[in-house]
């Protein structure tokens, strides 16, 4: 499972401030008076848009390379849900198969991919191991 980040494009506005857009997530648009404020809001809007896509069962946007963009990460709970879902799907495994390998119910396995759940570090470690991965945390 890897860090989830998307390229944000900051555009200075003539009247001041910055507008932020995400080429991979067209609905994610925000702004800020300063570059720092715009990037703070960018993380929030990215988190909200990805949370909605996950909750709706929509496809997760593929990260593209953007020249001149700035990388923005969503909240950790979104990163965890996306990383688990992506790793499971890459292996062609169903939620039922993941649940069996964790020795838990389908509903409990489904919560691991939910942006509204708050799995423990221990649950994330067990899930990563069940997917043949390991959990690595970083504070930046």
* Lookup result for tokens 């067990």: 126
Q: What is the pLDDT of residues 90-131, one digit of tens each?
A: 999 999 999 999 999 999 999 999 988 889 999 999 999 999
Residues 21, 39 contacting (CB under 8 angstroms): no
By the 10 Å C-beta count (0-12 exposed, 13-18 middle, 19+ buried), 30 is classed as buried
Is 84 part of a structural domain of the chain? yes
Assess whether pLDDT exceeds 60 at residue 1: no
Residues 65 and 93 in one domain: no
- Based on the fold, state whether residues 16 and 68 are members of the same structural domain: yes
Q: Write the CATH number for 54.
A: 3.30.160.250
Residue 139 lies in a domain: no
Domains in the chain: how many in total? 2
Q: Around 15, how many Cα atoms within 13 Å sit in the side-chain half-sphere?
A: 3
Structural domain harbouring 68: 6-72
pLDDT tens, residue by residue, 57-94? 888 888 877 676 799 999 988 989 988 998 999 999 99
**Residues 92 and 64 placed together within one structural domain of the fold:** no
């Amino acid at each position: 499972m890897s860090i989830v980040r998307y390229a944000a494009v900051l555009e200075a506005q003539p009247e001041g401030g910055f507008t932020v857009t995400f080429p991979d997530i067209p609905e994610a648009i925000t702004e800020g008076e300063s570059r720092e404020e715009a990037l703070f809001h960018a993380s929030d809007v990215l988190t909200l848009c990805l949370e909605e896509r996950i909750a709706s069962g929509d496809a997760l946007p593929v990260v593209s390379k953007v020249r001149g963009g700035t990388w923005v990460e969503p909240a950790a709970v979104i990163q965890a849900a996306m990383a688990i879902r992506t790793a499971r799907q890459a292996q062609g495994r169903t939620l039922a198969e993941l649940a069996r390998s964790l020795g838990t119910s389908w509903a409990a396995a489904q919560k691991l991919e939910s942006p509204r759940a708050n799995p423990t570090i221990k649950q994330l470690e067990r899930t990563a191991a069940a997917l043949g991965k390991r959990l690595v945390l970083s504070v930046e």
